Chains A and B, each alone.
Chain A
Amino acid sequence: MHVETEADEIQLSPEDDCFAIRQAARYVTQLYDRHLGRVGLKTTQFSIMFHLRRRKWMTMKELADAMVMERTTLVRAIQPLQRDGLVYTEASRSNRRVLTVMLTTAGEERLMEARDHWHAAQNEFEQRFGTQRAANLRDELFDMTKR
């Protein structure tokens, strides 16, 4: 019964670009989350903090655009970081309706700790999938999102 289901899966959605990309994203996210979880971070949170690393602050909109992410998704991902004191948000001085985000010192430290775990995730993935093949895939994907 289970074997039958799996045989059918191969036929399933073989043309769906959206499914193919989303499924692969979930697959690598599970792998990276497993490593980054050791310093209490999710992949999205690591990515947000990484975007903020060299900037004093970014507006929510800049951050959402940089990550190709819906604002509501971004807000939801930022909330735990804010609660744990890793990022700090405040209204822009020039426009009170614009929300700005920055890393705290604790956030910078956590990001440093997370680096080795990111490398470990990266190595695990590339050992399975191939380093050159991964590089080619990234080129294709970044080319897609650059527009």
Chain B
Amino acid sequence: MSKPISHDDCNCFALRQAARYVTQIYERHLGEVGLTAAQFTIIAKLARKPGLTMLDLADSMVMERTTLVRALKPLQRDGLVISEPSEHDGRTYLFSLSGAGKETFAQAAVAWRAAQDEFESKFGRSRAKALRAELFNMTAS
């Protein structure tokens, strides 16, 4: 177990470094509509499926609750995301987009497309597709 460690062997470092790299590209574009990459993901999820609980969101994004709360707060403060108590359980809140949130999502989707195009023109479209398949396969297990 005392093999020397190399960064080239570290799966975690490889993924985290790649995540920071793509995040910088996407946030340069998404920043134009004032969103971080995590906030875009939240808004995109709520646009497709309103009324999600915190737990639904955290699970579907493989995200720690605290990280999620930190990303959500500015969206709630700016009135893009609204919440209401669940009918079944008053302690559980259901999150949805407001009208302004839907407008922001529409603008953000354009910025996201530009980021996606920039990344894929560098990395290769079919290569990116194969990589996504590998990564989704990893996290689906």
Distance in angstroms from A119 CB to nearest chain B CB is: 5
Cβ proximity bits A1-44 to B, threshold 8 Å, 1 near / 0 not: 01001101110111111111111111111111000000000011
Contact flag A20-B48 (CB < 8 Å), given A29-B16, A50-B5 = no
A47 touches B49 (CB 8 A): no
Known: A15-B132, A18-B119, A116-B1. A142 touches B60 (CB 8 A): no
B134-A137 in contact (CB<8A): yes
CB distance from B65 to the nearest CB of A (A): 12
The answer on a CB contact under 8 Å between A142 and B131 is no
Is A27 in contact with B41, judged by CB distance below 8 angstroms?
Answer: no
Say whether B26 contacts A145, CB under 8 Å: no
Interface centre among B15, B17, B119 (most CB of A within 10 A): B15
Q: How far is the CB of A96 from chain B (nearest CB, A)?
A: 29
Q: How far is the CA of A116 from the CA of B37 in the complex (A)?
A: 34
Could you tell me if B135 and A23 are in contact, using CB atoms closer than 8 angstroms? yes
B115 CB-CB contact with A under 8 Å:
yes
Interface residues on B, range: 35 or more
Chain B residues within 8 Å of A128, by CB: 141
Residue B102 at the A interface, CB < 8 A? Answer: no
Residue B20 lies at the interface, judged by CB distance under 8 Å to chain A: yes
Given A21-B15, A43-B16, A138-B11; A8-B22 close (CB under 8 Å): no
Contact with B along A39-77 (1 / 0, CB 8 A): 000011001001000000000000000011110000000
**CB of A118 within 8 A of chain B?**
yes
CB neighbours of B60 from chain A (8 A):
5-6, 9, 12
Is B16 in contact with A118, judged by CB distance below 8 angstroms?
no
Q: CB distance B16 to A44 under 8 Å?
A: yes
Smallest CB gap from A142: residue in B: B14
By the criterion CB–CB under 8 Å, are A24 and B21 in contact?
A: no
Which secondary structure characterizes the binding site on chain A? helix
Residues of B within 8 A of A22 (CB): 19, 22-23, 37-38, 41
Does chain B have a CB within 8 A of A103? no
Kindly identify which residue among B15, B48, B63 contacts A28, using a CB–CB cutoff of 8 Å: B15
Is A125 among interface residues, defined by CB-CB distance under 8 A? Answer: yes
Known: A12-B45, A140-B131. A18 touches B16 (CB 8 A): no
Candidates A15, A43, A119, A134; contact of B1 at CB < 8 Å: A119
**Measured CA separation A131–B22 after assembly (Å):** 25
Closest B residue to A126 using CB positions: B11
Additional A-B contact list (6), CB under 8 Å, known A16-B116, A122-B9: A12-B45, A19-B37, A21-B15, A28-B12, A28-B15, A138-B11
